[in-house]
Amino acid sequence: MQSEPSAELRHRTVDVPAGRLHLVEQGTGPLVLLVHGFPESWYSWRHQLPALATAGYRAVAIDVRGYGRSSKPAATDAYRMLHLVEDNVAVVRALGEDFAVVVGHDWGSNIATASALLHPEIFRAVALLSVPYAPPGGPRPTDIFGRIGGPEQEFYVSYFQQPGRAEAEIEPDVRGWLAGFYAALSADTMPAQGEPDPHFVAHGGRLRDRFPAGTLPAWLTENDLDVYAGEFERTGMTGALNRYRNMDRDWEDLAPHRGAAIRQPSLFIGGTLDASTTWMSDAIDAYPATLPALSASHLLDGCGHWIQQERPDEVNGLLTDWLTTIEDRTGRGSGVAGVGSTGRGLVFPV
């Protein structure tokens, strides 16, 4: 049975360890928590909120700490993964729920998997968009990224990790930079093979020098760009960029979980033209070991990085179909992960 979504999105703030966290919700039923990536906001889930609500779920999209209307602590280490996971826990509790399905895109995918790994008693299923799951461990991240670029260019992660450097490039023209960054990773506007790769910056140059100019991707309207740009023009970029500046801290914090599998029901959706899926193809190949309860792994042909915005209908269908597969329509089973106002529960292995 499906429920009708509310006519309007509901905005609210809730208390979290950092202060406040802004969220937008629609619908009633079992809780589905949506976590965005860089450089976005709750708005990146604008197509999923009504679809999930119509399917009978309480869909909640957050502004991650440092973004939008959520709190922006001054300390760089306030953005380490452990804190972002605790924000997610606090949101679930503030909404009066005991359990949630967590869905993440880009950095939100990493936040979602860390939430599921550290709090399986709360996050009873996890869906990953664009960025595959790779268990904690391996060499120190900064050492890896420092070797990727080579003598003539620098990997974008290393560029973002230096405090103030990316801000100096982006903040004088937030709207123009965002337009170029979104276009650089979108299927219909990304640079052609053989052109300079926008994931790298020449030593002494700017990342935006690698962006395509003048054309917005088909999924991004001028109004959409206004929404994103307006948020970052108001807040600045430091809170968002601080996620990159905590990767070594995350590596240390998550060391006790080195090599750990996520055993809750899971789903992966990526794009065939997204560097995240091609560079991390080994992580996808390892899913039988790292995501043993994986329902399905989908690669959308000809899709870029902004998957839930580039291909909203396909992503919505895959998400709602997956949620149905983990739903107990009979009320029987073990490991019930929450019952919403529709009277339905979500069942998971214990």
pLDDT in tens, 255-308: 999 999 999 999 999 999 999 999 999 999 999 999 999 999 999 999 999 999
Q: Which residues are CB-contacts of 185 (< 8 A; sequence separation ≥ 6)?
A: 198, 274, 275, 304, 305, 306
Q: Which residues are CB-contacts of 19 (< 8 A; sequence separation ≥ 6)?
A: 71, 73
Six token digits for residue 303: 């899709």
SS3 124: strand
* pLDDT score for 98: 97
The C-alpha atoms of residue 257 and residue 268 are separated, in whole angstroms, by 21
- Using the predicted structure, report yes or no on whether residue 140 has a pLDDT greater than 70: yes
Return the beta strands (E) in the chain as ranges: 10-16, 19-26, 31-35, 58-62, 100-105, 123-129, 153-155, 200-202, 266-271, 294-300, 327-328, 336-339, 345-347
Q: Between helices 81-94 and 107-118, what is the axis angle to 10°?
A: 70
- Using the predicted structure, report yes or no on whether residue 196 has a pLDDT greater than 70: yes
Six token digits for residue 21: 């966290």
SS3 350: coil
Read off the DSSP letter of residue 74: S
* pLDDT score for 237: 98
* pLDDT score for 223: 98
Side chain identity at residue 227, one-letter code: V
The C-alpha atoms of residue 273 and residue 144 are separated, in whole angstroms, by 23
- Domain locations along the chain: 10-139+247-347, 141-241
Kindly indicate the confidence band of residue 7, based on its pLDDT and cuts at 50, 70 and 90. Answer: low
pTM of the model: 0.93
- Within 10 angstroms of residue 37's Cβ, the number of other Cβ atoms is 24
* Residue whose pair of structure tokens reads 């709360």 in the numeric block: 122
CATH superfamily placement of domain 10-139+247-347:
Alpha/Beta hydrolase fold, catalytic domain (3.40.50.1820)
* pLDDT score for 72: 97
Read off the DSSP letter of residue 14: E
Q: Which residue would you say has higher pLDDT here, 150 or 331? A: 150
Which residues on adjacent β-strands are paired with residue 153?
202
* pLDDT score for 2: 45
Read off the DSSP letter of residue 53: H
Task: Tell me the per-residue pLDDT of 45-66, one tens digit each, with 9 for 90 and over.
Answer: 999 999 999 999 999 999 999 9
* pLDDT score for 154: 94
Mean pLDDT of the chain: 91
* pLDDT score for 8: 86
Q: What is the mean pLDDT of residues 309-320?
A: 98
- Within 10 angstroms of residue 11's Cβ, the number of other Cβ atoms is 11
- Using the predicted structure, report yes or no on whether residue 330 has a pLDDT greater than 80: no
Distances (CA, A) of 123 to 15, 88, 103, 223, 346: 19, 9, 10, 34, 11
Q: What is the mean pLDDT of residues 24-30?
A: 97
* Residue whose pair of structure tokens reads 């922006």 in the numeric block: 72
Residues 141 and 117 sit within 8 Å (Cβ to Cβ): no
- Please count the CA atoms within 13 angstroms of the CA of 97 that sit on its side-chain side: 32
SS3 string of 254-277? CHHHCCCCCCCCEEEEEECCCHHH
**Where in the sequence numbering do the catalytic residues fall?**
106, 305
* pLDDT score for 204: 85
What percent of the chain stands above pLDDT 70? Answer: 91
* pLDDT score for 327: 73
Return the beta strands (E) in 170-277 as ranges: 200-202, 266-271
The C-alpha atoms of residue 323 and residue 321 are separated, in whole angstroms, by 5
Residues 228 and 43 sit within 8 Å (Cβ to Cβ): yes
Q: What is the mean pLDDT of residues 187-213?
A: 93
Q: Which residue would you say has higher pLDDT here, 193 or 32? A: 32
* Residue whose pair of structure tokens reads 């309860």 in the numeric block: 293
* pLDDT score for 152: 85
Q: What is the mean pLDDT of residues 129-147?
A: 95
Q: What is the mean pLDDT of residues 8-35?
A: 96
* Residue whose pair of structure tokens reads 């998957």 in the numeric block: 307
Torsion of CA 348, 24, 20, 169, to 10 degrees: 110
Q: What is the mean pLDDT of residues 134-151?
A: 91
Side chain identity at residue 204, one-letter code: G
* pLDDT score for 214: 82
Kindly indicate the confidence band of residue 85, based on its pLDDT and cuts at 50, 70 and 90. Answer: very high
